[in-house]
Amino acid sequence: MYAPALPLSAIRAMKRTVVNVALAETATESPFPEVAIPAGLLEQVRAGRFEDWPADQVLSWALDTFAPRIALSASFGSVEGMVILDMMHKLRPQAARVFTLDTGRLFQETYELMDRVRARYQIEIEVYFPQPEAVEAMVRQYGLNLFYDSVALRQKCCGVRKVEPLKRAMRDLDAWIAGLRPEQSVTRRDVRKVEIDDLHGGRIKINPLVGWSKDEVWAYVNQYNVPVNALHAQGFPTVGCLPCTRAIEPGEDERAGRWWWEHVASRECGLHVEYEEQGSGI
Q: What are the strands, taking DSSP E only, across 35-174? A: 70-73, 98-101, 125-128
Q: Give the Cα separation of 15 and 82 in Å (integer).
A: 44
Q: Give the Cα separation of 145 and 44 in Å (integer).
A: 45
Residue 268, classed as helix, strand or coil, is: coil
What does the longest C-alpha to C-alpha distance in the chain come to? 78
Q: Give the Cα separation of 70 and 72 in Å (integer).
A: 7
- Give the count of alpha carbons within 13 A of 280, CB side only: 6
For residue 131, with 0-12 CB atoms within 10 Å meaning exposed, 13-18 middle and 19 or more buried, which class applies?
middle
Q: Which is catalytic among the residues 157, 158, 244, 269? A: 269
Residues in the chain: 282
Residue 3, classed as helix, strand or coil, is: coil
C-beta neighbour count of 224 within 10 angstroms:
12
Strand order in the sheet with 203-206: 125-128, 98-101, 70-73, 175-177, 203-206, 194-197
- Give the count of alpha carbons within 13 A of 15, CB side only: 12
Please provide residue 101's backbone torsions phi and psi, each rounded to the nearest 5 degrees.
-110, 110
269 catalytic per annotation? yes
CB 197 within 8 A of CB 178: no
| Residues labelled as active-site residues | 269
